[in-house]
Amino acid sequence: MFQQVLNPVGNLFVTWLIALIPVVLLLLLLAGFRMSAWLSTLIGSLVTLLLGIAVWHMPAGNGIKAYFYGSLTGVWNVDWITFWGVVLFNTLVVTGVFENFRRWISSHGTRDVRVQTILFAWALGALLEGLVGFGYPWAVVAPILIALNIPDLDAIRVAAIANNAPVSYGALGAPIIALAAVTGLPLLALSSSVGHIVAILAILPPWILIYLVSGSRGFREGWPLAIVGSLGYILGQYPVAVYLGPYLPDISGAIVCIALLLVLLRFWRPKTVLGYGGTPVPPNERDDLVAHGLTPAQIWQAWMPFIVLVVVVVLWTGPWSPLPKIVPFKLSVDALSSITAGKTVSAIFSWAPFVGGSAIFASWIIVALLLRTTSEQLTTVFRRTWHQMWGALLVGFFIFGLAYVYNYSGMAASLAFASSKIGTWFLIVAPILGWIGVALSGSNTSTNAMFGSFQNIVGKLLGFPPLLLPTLNSVGAEIGKPVAPQTASVGVSTTRFVRKEGTVIRYNMGWTLFLLVYLIIIGVCCYYFFPGIMNAPVVST
């Protein structure tokens, strides 16, 4: 069995620098040369494989197996779920169901910019993030806000900041599924730990959003919107994340949030109707938005796909279901750990045919049948999905190959061992790494794949609660989304800021740094005062 080498060049600092090469190269290709993500991850993964063989003395055959098993994991555990999530969303768009859903929500709002911001940017944005991710919440929400007379750049910023909290559970939980795959930590335990942090994080953004669109004046009467917006999302997100897993927290959080906001608006509305900037709307312009004009059957049809998705995924993936536990075969290659004597580090691909992606696939089939989707519509759906997703699917293949080789070869252990010399201060570094990773790579999923194992090993070396650093990595990554070039390029695609992502990123930067500091404070408090929520029983796989 291959024995990992902790310090292959005899100098720990030089070893640390060499171990950083794959990470720095990948981020340089993405952010510096603006190379496409799939090509960057391909080059980065090949360099990682060569370094593992040449410097860490990893047997070439074993390294290729580790790469292949990692790539299979990326395809089956992540690509399979994101692909069908986007297919489902595109089916709703092509059939007109999503437009009816948006019209129905719009009709229940008012002309008040604070109401529209919480309803669309926060609640509807979370629903879109949970279903699709990849910057689509910006692309859908920003034009809605612009139509409400919010200036383009401000509308994009509002959509981006609102998109912070839901990202860890975006694309039906893909980032946390990736984190579990590379760390070996139980999926439900990670979903729960991230759920605790996100629940605290989600308290703040609705207040920021109200301030951004209406200034300090907006707080005088708008505070019920911030309270119901944050608590509504948390009430739907938290129990699902803790007890059911990472697939539905955003969707359940968004649905509960929308429902509670609509209940609130039936019994309370701001006395002073404010437009953008906190300027009162003239009395002759205060009428409610245009009636939706939908029949009861159309309203049911607009809600039906989300109901089907929730029911199928809960029944399919919940702790009571035997389906995800069915594993016909595993492929693995082992190495002896360079850090823990007698312990093995394994690159494993477990083929479980009934993973979460299969539940989404089944949900889509039911929805497509109930909507009586035509063959022409299906052709459009799959053509559009392939055009949108082929690059992301390749990224899933290459980034997991990179991550598995990085861990199996011993590079992650060497980097973690050297980095652990920082001591307890690494608690501050962990979320910053996640923020940097997603700010440059554009993907929470890829960031968790790149840094997840490394964060996990550092946590073990420093004696941190086992879930803490991987969790801070994931949540730190979600906070960096508003300044990620790749996310911004999708988010601005429906506005006049196409190919002006730099302007948008600079405009978003200050608030993301503010939220990053907030996350660091949350992480420090969890470590010193509430370590139990990050110390759930975990078993490496």
Start-end of H helices in 202-295: 205-214, 219-243, 249-267
Could you tell me if residue 540 is inside a domain?
no
Could you tell me if residue 539 is inside a domain?
no
Query: Residue 328 belongs to what domain range?
Result: 2-287+297-534
**pLDDT attached to residue 410:** 93
**pLDDT attached to residue 446:** 86
Residue 190 CA to residue 100 CA, distance in Å, equals 36
Contact in structure between 192 and 241 (CB atoms under 8 Å): yes
Residue 246 is given by DSSP the state: S
Domain count, the chain: 1
Per-residue pLDDT tens digits for 264-305: 998 998 888 898 998 888 876 655 556 778 899 999 999 999
Residue 309 CA to residue 299 CA, distance in Å, equals 17
**Residue 495, phi then psi, degrees to nearest 5:** -130, 180
Owner of token pair 């003395």? 57
Could you tell me if residue 541 is inside a domain?
no
Per-residue pLDDT tens digits for 159-216: 999 988 888 898 889 999 999 999 999 999 999 999 999 999 999 999 999 999 999 8
**pLDDT attached to residue 541:** 37
pTM: predicted TM-score of the whole model, two decimal places: 0.88
Contact in structure between 538 and 189 (CB atoms under 8 Å): yes
Contact in structure between 256 and 235 (CB atoms under 8 Å): yes
Could you tell me if residue 81 is inside a domain?
yes
Residue 197 CA to residue 238 CA, distance in Å, equals 10
Residue 507 CA to residue 411 CA, distance in Å, equals 37
Contact in structure between 81 and 282 (CB atoms under 8 Å): no
Give the number of C-alpha atoms closer than 13 A to the C-alpha of residue 55, restricted to the C-beta side.
27
Per-residue pLDDT tens digits for 61-91: 999 999 999 999 999 988 999 899 889 989 9
Residue 275 is given by DSSP the state: -
Could you tell me if residue 46 is inside a domain?
yes
**pLDDT attached to residue 539:** 45
What share of the chain in percent tops pLDDT 70? 96
